[in-house]
């Protein structure tokens, strides 16, 4: 590194696990770990200290910018997805969490795809376009109401 600092393999593995390997998140965790470290190499304890600050930075910037442009029904759909977790989900399962029929939530799903919030990795499945979004939605809207 140009600054002469290094990072331990264990710390790097922890950052990769925390970020899901998403490039922007890697940068944020790296910045926060750099700021948290008191010596080189950056260690796993530095990453643990940095994780809370990295999540806060992403919540206040990266994620918040995205949810601020959504309608209440779109937010509700995403929060229902979050109830199911970060992985892809069947459209019927999401509709079930909402207590609605698949056909009635289809237009909302389509709008979310057009806005780049979700995508369909395979027919009938819906997934968040970035990792960690389910956890953000649970922090952003902790009380889920179908």
- Residue 143: pLDDT above 90? no
Q: Are 104 and 93 in contact (CB under 8 A)?
A: no
pLDDT digits (tens, 9 = 90+) for 3-16: 678 999 999 999 99
- Residue 144: pLDDT above 80? no
Task: Give the global pTM.
Answer: 0.88
The Cα–Cα gap between 5 and 80 comes to 43
Asked whether residue 55 is domain-assigned, the answer is: yes
Phi–psi pair at 137, nearest 5 degrees: -60, -35
Same domain, 91 and 63: no
The Cα–Cα gap between 31 and 23 comes to 12
Same domain, 78 and 35: no
Q: Are 140 and 59 in contact (CB under 8 A)?
A: yes
The number of distinct structural domains making up the chain is 2
Listed residue (19, 132, 18, 124) closest to 66, CA to CA: 132
- Residue 1: pLDDT above 50? no
Q: Residue 62: which domain range?
A: 9-67
Same domain, 131 and 88: yes
Per-residue confidence (pLDDT) for residue 116, from 0 to 100: 97
Considering only residues 27 and 146, tell me which one the structure prediction assigns the higher pLDDT: 27
- What is residue 130's DSSP assignment? S
Same domain, 134 and 76: yes
- Residue 103: pLDDT above 50? yes
């Amino acid at each position: 590194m140009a600054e002469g600092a290094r990072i331990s393999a264990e710390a790097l593995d922890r950052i990769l696990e925390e970020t899901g390997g998403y490039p922007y998140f890697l940068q944020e965790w790296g910045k926060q770990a750099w700021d948290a470290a008191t010596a080189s190499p950056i260690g796993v304890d530095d990453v643990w200290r940095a994780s809370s600050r990295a999540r806060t930075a992403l919540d206040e910037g990266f994620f918040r910018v995205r949810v601020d442009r959504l309608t209440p029904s779109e937010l509700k759909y995403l929060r229902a997805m979050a109830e199911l977790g970060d992985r892809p989900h069947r459209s019927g399962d999401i509709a079930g969490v909402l207590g609605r029929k698949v056909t009635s939530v289809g237009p909302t799903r389509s709008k979310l795809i057009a806005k780049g919030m979700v995508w369909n990795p395979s027919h009938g499945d819906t997934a968040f376009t970035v990792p960690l979004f389910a956890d953000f939605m649970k922090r952003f809207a902790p009380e889920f109401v179908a």
